[in-house]
Amino acid sequence: MASYNQRNIGRFEQRVEFLFRTASDSDCAIRSCPVTSTTFIPGRDAIYPIKARAVCALQFRIWADAQLPPGSPTFPLNNDERRTYAERWAYGRIIAAYSSLAAYHDFDSAQVPRFADFACSILGDPKYGSRLLAIYPHLAELYPPRPGRVGGMGIYCWFD
For 9-41, write each residue's pLDDT tens digit: 688 999 999 999 999 998 899 999 999 999 999
pLDDT at 1: 42
End-to-end CA distance of the chain: 34
Contact present, 108 and 56 (Cβ < 8 Å): yes
pLDDT at 151: 60
Look at residue 126 and tell me whether its pLDDT is greater than 50: yes
Contact present, 75 and 64 (Cβ < 8 Å): yes
Whole-number average pLDDT of the chain: 86
Between the alpha carbon of residue 150 and those of residues 96, 106, 120, the distances in Å are 14, 16, 10
How far apart CA 96 and CA 11 sit, in angstroms, is 26
Share of the chain above pLDDT 70, in %: 86
Q: What is the mean pLDDT of residues 52-78?
A: 92
Which of 76, 74, 97 is CA-nearest to residue 143? 97
User: 2: pLDDT confidence band, cut at 50, 70 and 90?
Assistant: very low
pLDDT at 39: 93
Lowest mean pLDDT among 77-81, 105-109, 147-151: 147-151
Look at residue 67 and tell me whether its pLDDT is greater than 50: yes
User: 4: pLDDT confidence band, cut at 50, 70 and 90?
Assistant: very low
Which residues make Cβ contacts (< 8 Å) with residue 126, sequence separation at least 6?
none
Contact present, 73 and 85 (Cβ < 8 Å): yes
pLDDT at 25: 93
Between the alpha carbon of residue 34 and those of residues 13, 24, 59, the distances in Å are 13, 9, 15
Between the alpha carbon of residue 144 and those of residues 17, 30, 127, 138, the distances in Å are 41, 44, 16, 10
Q: What is the mean pLDDT of residues 47-65?
A: 94
How far apart CA 48 and CA 68 sit, in angstroms, is 30
Question: Left (φ > 0), alpha (ψ -120 to 50) or beta: where does 22 sit?
Answer: alpha
